[in-house]
Amino acid sequence: MNFQTLTIVDFISFGVFISAWVLYTAFADHSPWANQSLTHKMNQYRERWMQEMVSRDMRMIDTTILGNLMTGIAFFASTAMLILGGIVALLSNGTTVSQSIKHLPYAIDSSPALWEFKVLVLALIFVYAFFKFAWAFRLTNYCNIMVGSAPVKESDKSELELHAKCASKLSCRAGHHFNRGLRAFFFGSAALAWLFHPLAMLFASLVVVLVLYRREFSSTALLAMKT
């Protein structure tokens, strides 16, 4: 692609989009404030869940919960593939779609090369989301196997604790990748606004960061678990 087709506004908006995603991920997952997030709180419950699991005689309830989690992950993975199918359709009918968007108020006209670049960015985002959901699904499946292979509760305490620790790590990693996939969905919606106007993507990127921050660090769900 000839980058001369990108305007200054496109460069700035795309830079803000990438920066917002990278910086928010660093803040939410790797900063000292990460321990205050909803994800961190849920990881504590995942650890407690696996500790309770090894102390039970019957683990059918645990496998049922994991099965429900896998169903939710599979739903989002399938949705990502459906979205990718729609993105491929955008590429094949780019002229028609771009002409339709151009007639909307305040929309800008994009050259064919710039249009294809925008659509390919969208495709990469949802490919990334699919891989995250697929890996989360696989890790949850592994966690299911860990539950099935857990020692009986009469086993040595250290053996039970080690098994619970390993299972909880798998569960937490599954949750981590699932959250990354969901985050890609949010930022994918911001990238979608680029098809309309670069400033719309810039604004949408900031809105997505605010929404994600509120849900992960100041939501009523988090407050409820702190009480």
Q: What is the pLDDT of residues 78-97, one digit of tens each?
A: 999 999 998 888 877 656 65
Sequence-distant (6+) residues with CB within 8 A of 135 are 177
Location of structure tokens 């499946």: 141
The pLDDT value recorded for residue 141 is 95
With a pLDDT cut of 70, the percent of the chain lying above it is 90
pTM above 0.85, yes or no: yes
The pLDDT value recorded for residue 75 is 97
11-25, 27-41, 105-119: least confidently modelled range: 105-119
What mean pLDDT value characterizes the chain?
89
The pLDDT value recorded for residue 106 is 59
How much is the CA Rg of the chain, to the nearest whole Å? Answer: 22
The pLDDT value recorded for residue 96 is 63
Residue 71 CA from chain centroid, whole number: 16
8 Å CB contact between 137 and 73: yes
The pLDDT value recorded for residue 89 is 83
pLDDT bin (cut points 50, 70, 90) of residue 72 is very high
